[in-house]
Amino acid sequence: MRISLFVWLFLILLSISCGCGSSISAYSQCVDREGSLLLQLKKSLKFSSSNSPKLGSWNEGTDCCKWGGVMCDEEGHVIDLDLNDESIYGGIDNSSSLFSLHYLQRLNLAYNDMDGSQIPSEFGKLSNLIYLNMTLSSFGGQIPIEISRMARLVTLDLSYNYRLVVENPSLKLLFHNLTELKQLYLDGVNISAHRHEWSQALSSLSNLQELGLSFCSLSGPIDSSLVNLRSLSLIRLNYNNISARVPEFFADYSNLTELHLFSCGFYGKVPERIFQMPTLQVLDLGNNKLEGFFPDSVLKLTHIVYLDLSGNNFTGPIPSLHKSKNLTDLYLAVNRFTGPIPSFRMSKGLIYINLCCNNLTGTIPWSHFDGLVNLTSIDLSENSVGGTIPSSLFGISSLSEILLQQNQFEGQLPEFPNASSSLLQLLDLSNNKLEGLIPMSILELGSLRGLTLSFNNFSGTMQFEIFQRLGNLIMLDLAYNSLSIDASGSNSSFPRLTGLSLASCKLQQFPNLKNQSDMDYLDLSNNQISGEIPNWIWELAGNGYSYLNLSHNLLVDLQKPYSFGNATLDLDLHSNQLHGQIPIPPLANYLDYSSNNFNYSIPADIGDPSIVKL
């Protein structure tokens, strides 16, 4: 009830504020003939009325210009039909009355399920169409030549219909007469039959502004005639194997705002002029084989918002971005950048910073993150950054991910300011040289889902129980520090925990995890746990997969009666003092029972683990 009232208010506000419906349709009645064509159309379409709010509102005896998704001109002719996301399924055939709506200028059939059926050739009759949108509608087969008769088309969106192909007629025949086109989206359409000609075939579309061709099975090189498309503002070629150099003429598109070249097999140096295009807002060169370095003067992307250079071979220091005041997304991961982490203070709108897996060094000055009030994720992992972790980083209240693992950070961990209102979900500081006590404010990070502090030199004694305060924890890893974890407390309850590593935490006993029902990773190795392996441990993983490592303890037996659960085990019990019969789990990938005192008679029915060590 509240929702429908809200929608109703919203619609009223919308019609008042934009006045769009009223100026076109309010003055005239729908032409009878077109009303009945629409009703015939409704009859011929398969849809599920509960999910088709617009079609559902088409009723005989009412003015069709007021029906959902319908807009008319002043004479009452239907000029705009928006049936996007109406749960239409099974396709449209050539005889459909849709193709008698000759005044139609805009048609949107996006987000329906045509189940691989063909695009009807009768579309050619809709010669007044300016806008045709059939994205994500599961059309299939060859795009019919009749599309090329819609000479007034300005927007054609056939993207993400993965069963569509362009083979015969060719790309050139289909499109070279559609010279009014400003937006052409063919992402996901299989153009592999014309993969070498695509750039030439489209070079006559001189008004084109937006060109989407990702996932089209295209090849390179890119023909220089494509430079004729001078008005291009968006180029999207992601996930094609272009296997060529990035053409310098891309820099000649004086209105280019978005260049998406992710995973295209581009190699070599990127022409410097690309990094100096004053119009670019999105530059995605991720996952190619690009190389080169950035002297200070190279990068002049003053309007850049989204910059992805990750997964390449760029070298040298990270380019200075101090002129890029609107940057929100910075992805430079997996390159060979060296030198210090630059200051980001000039890009105050940054939301994502990913510099993982480079060769960055140096320390991070306290002031580097000043004023980044929207920063959500920072990933500096797998570098060689050292010094202490600046507490100013922990003070950024918008952060939900801090990934600093595999670096050279040292010293004590600062307290988390305002921890109780923190949004932090993921904190990974593993594989550094941090020491001292784990700050207690960490236990107030109520949103935390993953906490990984392993392979540092944290010290002190902590009750395992106190981590229960982190009620959203999914993964807790405190292994290989100098910590003593005291697990003597009563039942513990972590509503969501699925992974726990307390390896090498000087544990004397099993933490009581009896009430956990969804653990698929438990590492209690390298402790001083003695006595029996409790029988509840085999039930922790339910029916899934379970990694259980109890090696290097002082365990002597399995508590009886025990029954292995239904999980497929990776079970490591080596280097204990276990004796008696060898326990045989019914499902296992990996079993290590070595260095124990088991009664060695290798059972015939050991099952089929891929590795067994006895």
Ligand X SMILES: *[C@@H]1O[C@H](CO)[C@@H](O)[C@H](O)[C@H]1NC(C)=O
Local structure of residue 138 (DSSP, 8 states) = -
Q: Does 326 bind ligand X (CB under 6 A)?
A: yes
| Neighbour-count burial of 413, counting CB atoms closer than 10 A to its CB (0-12 exposed, 13-18 middle, 19+ buried) | buried
Q: State the minimum distance, in angstroms, from the CB of residue 311 to ligand X.
A: 6
Q: State the minimum distance, in angstroms, from the CB of residue 290 to ligand X.
A: 7
Binding piece for ligand X, criterion CB under 6 A, among 310-318, 497-505, 549-557, 599-607:
310-318
Do the beta carbons of residue 515 and residue 495 sit within 8 Å?
no
Q: State the minimum distance, in angstroms, from the CB of residue 206 to ligand X.
A: 9
Binding piece for ligand X, criterion CB under 6 A, among 115-123, 427-435, 455-463, 590-598:
115-123
Pairwise CA distance, residues 585 & 581, whole Å? 12
Q: State the minimum distance, in angstroms, from the CB of residue 325 to ligand X.
A: 5
| Neighbour-count burial of 531, counting CB atoms closer than 10 A to its CB (0-12 exposed, 13-18 middle, 19+ buried) | middle
CA 255, distance to chain mean position in Å, is: 28
Q: What is the DSSP string of 201-227?
A: HTTT-TT--EEE-TTS--BSPPPGGGG
Binders of ligand X among 409-438, rule CB under 6 A? Answer: 417-418
Q: Does 317 bind ligand X (CB under 6 A)?
A: no
Which residue number is nearest to ligand X in terms of Cβ? 349
Q: State the minimum distance, in angstroms, from the CB of residue 3 to ligand X.
A: 21
Pairwise CA distance, residues 321 & 23, whole Å? 47
Residue 118 or 526 having the CB closest to ligand X:
118
3-class secondary structure, 392: helix
Binders of ligand X among 164-223, rule CB under 6 A? Answer: 165, 167, 173, 177, 183, 185, 190, 192-193, 217, 219
Q: State the minimum distance, in angstroms, from the CB of residue 298 to ligand X.
A: 18
Cβ atoms within 10 Å of 551's Cβ, excluding its own: 23
Local structure of residue 151 (DSSP, 8 states) = T
Q: Does 241 bind ligand X (CB under 6 A)?
A: yes
Please work out, in degrees rounded to the nearest 5, the angle formed at the alpha carbon of residue 548 by the alpha carbons of 600 and 435.
Answer: 125
Alpha helices in 158-301 (DSSP H): 171-175, 198-201
Q: Does 238 bind ligand X (CB under 6 A)?
A: no
3-class secondary structure, 92: coil
Among 110, 143, 399, 571, indicate the residue that binds ligand X (CB under 6 A).
Answer: 110
Q: Does 135 bind ligand X (CB under 6 A)?
A: yes
Q: State the minimum distance, in angstroms, from the CB of residue 397 to ligand X.
A: 6
Do the beta carbons of residue 540 and residue 549 sit within 8 Å?
no
Residue 243 or 508 having the CB closest to ligand X:
243
Among 543, 577, 581, 597, indicate the residue that binds ligand X (CB under 6 A).
Answer: 543
Residue among 318, 353, 355, 322 nearest 339 (CA): 318
Q: Give CB contacts under 8 A, 24+ apart, made by 244-248.
A: 244/220, 245/221, 245/269, 246/270, 246/271, 246/274, 246/285, 246/290, 247/221, 247/222, 247/271, 248/273, 248/274
Q: Does 349 bind ligand X (CB under 6 A)?
A: yes
Do the beta carbons of residue 105 and residue 82 sit within 8 Å?
no
**Maximum distance among all Cα pairs of the chain, rounded to whole angstroms:** 94
Q: Does 374 bind ligand X (CB under 6 A)?
A: yes
Residue 40 or 121 having the CB closest to ligand X:
121
Do the beta carbons of residue 101 and residue 78 sit within 8 Å?
yes
Pairwise CA distance, residues 327 & 321, whole Å? 9
Do the beta carbons of residue 467 and residue 490 sit within 8 Å?
no
Q: State the minimum distance, in angstroms, from the CB of residue 167 to ligand X.
A: 6
Pairwise CA distance, residues 282 & 294, whole Å? 18
Q: State the minimum distance, in angstroms, from the CB of residue 565 to ligand X.
A: 4
Binding piece for ligand X, criterion CB under 6 A, among 307-315, 445-453, 479-487, 571-579:
307-315
Residue 173 or 556 having the CB closest to ligand X:
173
Binders of ligand X among 48-107, rule CB under 6 A? Answer: 84, 93-94
Among 28, 29, 128, 243, indicate the residue that binds ligand X (CB under 6 A).
Answer: 243
Binders of ligand X among 548-587, rule CB under 6 A? Answer: 565-566
Q: Does 472 bind ligand X (CB under 6 A)?
A: no
Q: Does 133 bind ligand X (CB under 6 A)?
A: yes
Q: State the minimum distance, in angstroms, from the CB of residue 71 to ligand X.
A: 15
Among 120, 286, 319, 609, indicate the residue that binds ligand X (CB under 6 A).
Answer: 120
Q: Does 228 bind ligand X (CB under 6 A)?
A: no
Residue ranges that bind ligand X, judged by CB under 6 A: 84, 93-94, 108, 110-111, 118, 120-121, 133, 135, 148, 155, 157, 165, 167, 173, 177, 183, 185, 190, 192-193, 217, 219, 230-231, 241, 243, 254-255, 265, 289, 302-303, 311-313, 325-326, 336, 348-349, 359, 373-374, 395, 397, 417-418, 539, 542-543, 565-566
